[in-house]
Amino acid sequence: MTIATKDRTTKHLSDLHFEHNVWLNTLQFCKEEITIFERRMEELVARNTDKTLLAELEHFQNQYIREREVIDELRHGIKEHENFLEKEMKEHPVAIEHRAFGDHTELRDRMVTFEKLYRELKDEFHRWLSKVM
């Protein structure tokens, strides 16, 4: 449940926690998917010597390295917010579910951006694979 106040939006703890879990699962899935893509790239490297193809593969390899870094940064931000919420629960356990916390709009914006860019990279990789196969 979202509560709008005069200057900011707030949410209940359970809503924030739910969103954190969804994001962490999404990030874990993407990380595992990148591993699959990297294995596919290794297969292509093993059977190709074409310099252009190898350069294109290197482009994707670099992109996936960066995506892993972004995933780690996002996971860290989510975990920090979870730690903050846990501390609040321990320090103020009475009626914790009835308190409203500041919405994590910055994290949400970062996740939306990550998902958009990751989907674009994934689509680009699939188009490239269909072209070279």
pLDDT given for residue 14 in this prediction: 78
65 close to 34: Cβ distance less than 8 angstroms:
no
Number of domains in the chain: 1
- If one compares 125 and 92, the residue with the highest pLDDT of the two is 125
pTM score, two decimals? 0.84
- Domain limits at 112? 2-132
Segment 45-76, tens digit of pLDDT: 999 889 999 999 999 999 999 999 999 999 99
pLDDT in tens, 88-122: 788 776 766 666 677 778 999 999 999 999 999 99
- How high is the pLDDT of residue 6? 40
The span from the CA of 72 to the CA of 68, in Å, is 6
Contact 35, 127 (CB under 8 A): no
Contact partners, residue 117, CB within 8 Å, separation at least 6:
none
